Amino acid sequence: MKIHADKTDNGPRHAFTPREVRLILSSVPPDWIDGLKTVRLANGHEGYLPWASFFRPTSSLIIYSRRAIKDRTLAAILSALAAHSLNIQICVSRPRPSEADQRRLWQFIQPWFDTILAKLEPSRIEPTLRKLSPEAHTPMEFLPFPNDVA
Protein backbone atom coordinates (compact mmCIF):
# COMPACT_ATOMS: atom_id res chain seq x y z
CA MET A 1 0.00 0.00 0.00
CA LYS A 2 1.29 3.43 -0.94
CA ILE A 3 0.73 6.46 1.31
CA HIS A 4 1.28 9.86 -0.28
CA ALA A 5 1.13 13.23 1.48
CA ASP A 6 0.65 16.37 -0.60
CA LYS A 7 3.38 18.91 0.02
CA THR A 8 2.65 21.61 2.61
CA ASP A 9 5.20 24.40 2.23
CA ASN A 10 3.28 27.01 4.16
CA GLY A 11 0.24 27.02 6.36
CA PRO A 12 -1.09 24.23 8.53
CA ARG A 13 0.22 20.69 8.29
CA HIS A 14 -1.79 17.52 7.81
CA ALA A 15 -3.32 16.16 11.00
CA PHE A 16 -1.45 12.86 10.61
CA THR A 17 1.89 11.84 9.17
CA PRO A 18 2.10 8.90 6.75
CA ARG A 19 3.58 6.82 9.59
CA GLU A 20 0.55 7.54 11.79
CA VAL A 21 -1.82 6.69 8.93
CA ARG A 22 -0.03 3.36 8.55
CA LEU A 23 -0.53 2.72 12.29
CA ILE A 24 -4.25 3.52 11.95
CA LEU A 25 -4.67 1.19 8.98
CA SER A 26 -2.82 -1.63 10.73
CA SER A 27 -5.18 -1.32 13.73
CA VAL A 28 -8.52 -1.69 11.95
CA PRO A 29 -10.19 -4.95 10.86
CA PRO A 30 -8.83 -6.28 7.55
CA ASP A 31 -12.22 -6.20 5.80
CA TRP A 32 -12.36 -2.41 6.27
CA ILE A 33 -9.26 -1.92 4.14
CA ASP A 34 -9.87 -4.78 1.73
CA GLY A 35 -8.59 -3.70 -1.68
CA LEU A 36 -7.03 -0.43 -0.47
CA LYS A 37 -3.99 0.40 -2.62
CA THR A 38 -3.32 4.12 -2.16
CA VAL A 39 -3.84 6.66 0.60
CA ARG A 40 -3.53 10.36 -0.10
CA LEU A 41 -3.25 13.11 2.49
CA ALA A 42 -4.68 15.84 0.27
CA ASN A 43 -4.31 19.61 0.41
CA GLY A 44 -7.72 20.71 -0.89
CA HIS A 45 -10.79 21.27 1.31
CA GLU A 46 -9.45 23.96 3.61
CA GLY A 47 -12.37 23.63 6.05
CA TYR A 48 -12.02 23.11 9.77
CA LEU A 49 -13.84 19.77 9.73
CA PRO A 50 -11.78 16.88 8.40
CA TRP A 51 -13.16 14.73 5.66
CA ALA A 52 -12.14 11.29 4.42
CA SER A 53 -13.50 9.14 1.64
CA PHE A 54 -12.71 5.59 0.57
CA PHE A 55 -13.33 5.18 -3.17
CA ARG A 56 -13.61 1.42 -3.55
CA PRO A 57 -13.67 1.40 -7.40
CA THR A 58 -10.25 3.10 -7.52
CA SER A 59 -9.02 1.49 -4.26
CA SER A 60 -7.99 4.83 -2.80
CA LEU A 61 -8.55 6.62 0.48
CA ILE A 62 -8.39 10.42 0.39
CA ILE A 63 -7.99 12.34 3.64
CA TYR A 64 -8.47 16.11 3.88
CA SER A 65 -7.21 17.14 7.31
CA ARG A 66 -5.32 20.42 7.21
CA ARG A 67 -6.31 22.72 10.10
CA ALA A 68 -8.11 19.80 11.76
CA ILE A 69 -7.43 18.19 15.11
CA LYS A 70 -6.42 14.55 15.36
CA ASP A 71 -9.55 13.35 17.18
CA ARG A 72 -11.92 14.51 14.46
CA THR A 73 -9.61 13.38 11.69
CA LEU A 74 -9.34 9.90 13.19
CA ALA A 75 -13.15 9.73 13.47
CA ALA A 76 -13.49 10.78 9.82
CA ILE A 77 -10.98 8.14 8.65
CA LEU A 78 -12.58 5.34 10.66
CA SER A 79 -16.05 6.39 9.49
CA ALA A 80 -14.97 6.30 5.85
CA LEU A 81 -13.43 2.86 6.28
CA ALA A 82 -16.29 1.36 8.34
CA ALA A 83 -19.18 2.79 6.30
CA HIS A 84 -19.07 -0.10 3.85
CA SER A 85 -19.51 -2.62 6.69
CA LEU A 86 -22.75 -0.90 7.74
CA ASN A 87 -24.01 -0.42 4.14
CA ILE A 88 -23.73 3.35 4.43
CA GLN A 89 -22.99 5.06 1.14
CA ILE A 90 -20.51 7.94 1.26
CA CYS A 91 -19.86 9.27 -2.21
CA VAL A 92 -18.98 12.48 -4.04
CA SER A 93 -22.61 13.57 -4.35
CA ARG A 94 -23.25 12.85 -0.64
CA PRO A 95 -19.89 13.21 1.17
CA ARG A 96 -21.36 13.23 4.67
CA PRO A 97 -23.71 10.56 6.05
CA SER A 98 -27.03 11.54 7.59
CA GLU A 99 -27.15 12.25 11.33
CA ALA A 100 -28.70 8.85 12.04
CA ASP A 101 -25.95 7.14 10.02
CA GLN A 102 -23.31 9.24 11.80
CA ARG A 103 -24.61 8.01 15.18
CA ARG A 104 -24.56 4.39 13.95
CA LEU A 105 -21.03 4.85 12.63
CA TRP A 106 -19.82 6.41 15.88
CA GLN A 107 -21.23 3.56 17.98
CA PHE A 108 -19.60 1.08 15.61
CA ILE A 109 -16.13 2.70 15.44
CA GLN A 110 -15.80 3.90 19.04
CA PRO A 111 -13.83 0.86 20.35
CA TRP A 112 -11.25 1.24 17.57
CA PHE A 113 -11.22 5.02 18.01
CA ASP A 114 -10.31 4.75 21.70
CA THR A 115 -7.65 2.11 21.10
CA ILE A 116 -5.99 3.89 18.18
CA LEU A 117 -6.06 7.30 19.87
CA ALA A 118 -4.29 5.79 22.89
CA LYS A 119 -1.59 4.42 20.55
CA LEU A 120 -1.20 7.74 18.74
CA GLU A 121 -1.15 9.98 21.79
CA PRO A 122 -0.09 8.08 24.91
CA SER A 123 -0.10 11.29 26.99
CA ARG A 124 -3.90 11.49 26.63
CA ILE A 125 -4.45 8.23 28.52
CA GLU A 126 -6.13 8.53 31.90
CA PRO A 127 -3.64 9.68 34.57
CA THR A 128 -4.39 6.58 36.65
CA LEU A 129 -3.23 4.34 33.81
CA ARG A 130 0.07 6.14 33.30
CA LYS A 131 3.12 5.15 35.29
CA LEU A 132 3.30 7.41 38.30
CA SER A 133 6.28 8.32 40.41
CA PRO A 134 6.69 6.57 43.80
CA GLU A 135 5.92 9.88 45.58
CA ALA A 136 2.46 9.89 44.03
CA HIS A 137 1.51 6.81 46.06
CA THR A 138 2.47 8.08 49.52
CA PRO A 139 -0.47 9.24 51.63
CA MET A 140 -0.73 12.91 52.46
CA GLU A 141 0.21 13.86 56.03
CA PHE A 142 -1.25 16.86 57.77
CA LEU A 143 1.09 18.82 60.02
CA PRO A 144 -0.34 20.32 63.22
CA PHE A 145 -0.48 24.09 63.56
CA PRO A 146 0.70 25.69 66.82
CA ASN A 147 -2.81 26.90 67.65
CA ASP A 148 -4.42 23.46 67.21
CA VAL A 149 -5.98 22.11 70.36
CA ALA A 150 -5.35 18.43 70.82
Alpha-carbon distance of 130 to 80, in angstroms, equals 31
Q: What is the largest CA-CA distance in the chain?
A: 81
What integer pLDDT is reported at residue 128 of this predicted model? 47
Task: Report mean pLDDT in 10-residue bins for the chain, 150 residues.
Answer: 84 86 93 91 71 84 84 90 82 68 89 90 53 59 69
Domain count, the chain: 1
What integer pLDDT is reported at residue 1 of this predicted model? 85
Q: Does residue 55 belong to any structural domain of this protein?
A: yes
What integer pLDDT is reported at residue 123 of this predicted model? 53
What integer pLDDT is reported at residue 133 of this predicted model? 58
Q: Does residue 146 belong to any structural domain of this protein?
A: no
Q: Does residue 127 belong to any structural domain of this protein?
A: no
Give the domain extent around 22.
2-121
Q: Spell out the residues 6+ positions from residue 91 whose beta carbon is closer than 8 angstroms to its own.
A: 53
Q: Does residue 79 belong to any structural domain of this protein?
A: yes
What integer pLDDT is reported at residue 89 of this predicted model? 72
Give 39-95 as a DSSP string.
Answer: EEEES----SS-EEEEETTTTEEEEE-TT--HHHHHHHHHHHHHGGGGT----SSS-
What integer pLDDT is reported at residue 149 of this predicted model? 64
Q: Does residue 148 belong to any structural domain of this protein?
A: no
In tens, the pLDDT along 118-133 reads: 888 765 544 444 555 5
